[in-house]
Structure 1
Amino acid sequence: MDIVQSYWPGIFLSCATYAIAAMSPGPAMMATMGAAMESGRKAGFVLGLGIVASSMFWGLLSVFGLSTLLLTYPGAVWFIQIFGCIYLLYLAYKTLRSVVSSSELKVSSSDLSSKDALSFFLHGCALNITNPKAIMTWIAIISLGLAPDAPIWVVFAVIGGTMIFAFVFYSSIAFLFSTQKMVNLYAKAGRWIDGFMGLFFIYAAFALLRH
């Protein structure tokens, strides 16, 4: 029992590290908020699922040696930064294009088609897959929570705990920012909100290159 309990502080620290990183404002949070306000709760929820899935992907890869590989070949992180920068600039272009559009902005609350749901899901995956912050967060998590002799249940405890938090967190964002109050706000100030988000994506893109 004492041996089992000795692993819990590391597990808690790993989950807390992930939670703090997830709650810090970033492209994933902003994209989930935007999808929920503009396209409805289901869109935000599905995009959040993509973020959770890609986060689990990085977590599993980190457990199976990705951390060592990236530390040995730091140039790999540079390539991910470049792709991440390009993708964020693409998001900025799409968002800012809606600001200058002459068409009326509308908030959708309709059901998603399978094609649209897949698009939002892949969008969420791409945000995290091309985000070096997600990789470095998992390197820190593995270092904090997994001792070299840690049993397999510790691995599942760390990944399971972080994924449960991620699911609850992004689902909550999708719910909150698709409420009638937020929908009305977007309907009135959609161009201002899109303008802010577009500028944020540009900032995040160039912030990647500075690291």
Structure 2
Amino acid sequence: MTDINLPLIMGAALVAMASPGPATLAIASTSMANGRRHGLALASGVTSGSLFWSLAAALGMGGVMATNAWLFEILRYCGAAYLLYLALKSARSALRRGKDAPAASAQQRLTLRKTYFKGLAIHLSNPKAILFIGSIYALGLPRDASIADLATVVLALGLQSAAICHLYAVLFASKPIVAGYRKMRRTLDGLFAMLFGFASIKILTASINQ
């Protein structure tokens, strides 16, 4: 195995994954509104998306995207549109009267499968993810990195992402936080609507060189 700077890679990824963003917002809102199982399902979707981008970066797709701006643009618009959809959904929930979040019929239609794919879509539609992972790979991996090196980094990042995302899900599904959410549901859903909207605008105005 060549000399890989695993602490640098893991540290940079830890800061990015633990910081507030579309994925962590979605995990928090889903866990509080729909319970631990759905929170964990969404966290699994986010983790799968993170693993996909990590593999893509390891295979050099980050460089391909950087040199083919149209690929970045397609993902950018898809990501912004999806986050805007989540913002509108949260806003609609905030305007709904009563302490319960979605209506019972909507709750019944929500399956763990749908929640998982929601998490996957959130992460796959973030075009900055592969560029960020590609950049930390460039900093922490030597040019002569072997397949074993790449596999080690991909596995380590995948495990770290899974731990952080699922920890968020368990935390926000705890009884005290859920109780607080139910008391302030409309206010919090309004806040989530604004944050998702801000994230949508941020992705929409992003450039490949940022």
What TM-score do the two structures reach when normalised by structure 1? Answer: 0.90
Give the direction of change, closer, same or farther, for the CA distance of 1:104–1:114 in structure 2 (3 Å limit): closer
1:1-211 matched pairs, under 5 angstroms? 4=1, 6-7=3-4, 10-106=5-101, 116-211=111-206
Letter in 1 for 2:3: S
Which SS does the other structure have where 1:53 is aligned? helix
Three-state SS of the structure 1 residue aligned to 2:59 is: helix
Task: Report if the CA contact (8 A) 1:51-1:125 is conserved.
Answer: yes
Q: Is the 8 A contact 1:84 1:208 kept in 2?
A: yes
Q: Name the Cα RMSD after superposition.
A: 2.1
The Cα shift of 1:142 comes to 2.1
**Matches of 2:122 and 2:78 in 1, distance apart?**
10
Partner Cα distance (1:116, 1:37) in 2: 16
What residue identity is the alignment partner of 1:128? H
Structure 1 CA distance for aligned equivalents of residues 99 and 181 of structure 2: 12
C-alpha deviation, 1:141, in angstroms: 2.4
**Aligned residue-pair number:** 203
Q: Which aligned runs of 4 or more in structure 1 are off by greater than 3 angstroms?
A: 112-115
> Structure 2: any 5+ residue segments left out of the alignment?
none
Per-residue deviation, 1:201: 0.5
- TM-score of the two chains, using structure 2 as the length reference: 0.90
1:84 touches 1:131 (CA, 8 Å); kept in 2? yes
Aligned to 2:184, the other structure's residue is in SS state helix
Letter in 1 for 2:194: L
**Paired residue secondary structure (2:65):** helix
One-letter amino acid matched to 1:44: G
CA–CA distance in structure 1, aligned partners of residues 39 and 27 of structure 2: 5
Single out whichever of 167-176 and 69-78 deviates more from structure 2. Answer: 69-78
Q: Distance in 2 between matches of 1:167 and 1:114?
A: 26
Q: Which runs of 5+ in 1 are unaligned?
A: none
Letter in structure 1 aligned against 2:189: D
Give, in angstroms, the shift of residue 170 of structure 1: 1.0
Q: After the TM superposition, which of the residue ranges 189-198 and 113-122 deviates more from structure 2?
A: 113-122
CA contact (8 A) 2:76 2:126 kept: yes
